[in-house]
Amino acid sequence: DAGITQSPRHKVTETGTPVTLRCHQTENHRYMYWYRQDPGHGLRLIHYSYGVKDTDKGEVSDGYSVSRSKTEDFLLTLESATSSQTSVYFCAISDPLLSNQETQYFGPGTRLLVL
Amino acid sequence: KNEVEQSPQNLTAQEGEFITINCSYSVGISALHWLQQHPGGGIVSLFMLSSGKKKHGRLIATINIQEKHSSLHITASHPRDSAVYICAARTSGNTPLVFGKGTRLSVIA
């Protein structure tokens, strides 16, 4: 298994508070992704990074920001959490130059509940 | 924008049955991925296809580029195959994957 960890694994927070989720990898993969997974929807891309300090928006980026100050860490911040951001958040990594043909490796997920 | 559709949404099978899950997409792609999400939530990549067919154990994935369609087959299904199967398509180069909503498979002993 690819070395990807997410923290925290579970979080309950209140509406309006900022929340930061961390994704950490030990595989030196260039690309990192944040997805959310909700019933009735497929995995939806929030933001992704293609290198240190290089990030881009995904399909559902409103209300989220990201930072990548080093290869191994990709942080997702909910600036002011809302109940609609209750979801399961997955981090993924890939690197077509290092691993098998752009395969994405997923972290274990973070369950976030916003009350 | 690429749309990825999977069918069926839910599938229940008896142990030993041959299973087919379908995936269609709306625009030309460079790669099609199949993933498996276990009941505990973990997601693993099964296959990446750009043409033809790939086989791994009892799993077979095929793709028809002209018809914009891919299938995932499971032979001799087993209760441990119970999971959500997800297809995802990439239109080109390093563009992000677009995911289908998944097919929930339950295999009953």
pLDDT in tens, B3-23: 899 999 999 999 999 999 999
Residues B68, B24 contacting (CB under 8 angstroms): yes
Pair of tokens at residue A114: 């916003």
d(CA B100, CA A105): 17
Q: Which residue of B has its CA nearest to A44?
A: B99
d(CA A90, CA A106): 7
Which residues on B lie below 8 Å from A100 (Cβ)?
Answer: 48
Q: Does B101 touch chain A (CB under 8 A)?
A: yes
d(CA B80, CA A52): 39
d(CA A103, CA A82): 32
- Name beta bridge partners: A55: A49
Residues A14, A24 contacting (CB under 8 angstroms): no
Tell me which residues of chain A have a pLDDT lower than 70.
1-2, 98-101
Q: Does B46 touch chain A (CB under 8 A)?
A: no
Segment B35-87, tens digit of pLDDT: 999 988 899 999 999 899 999 999 999 999 999 999 999 999 999 999 999 99
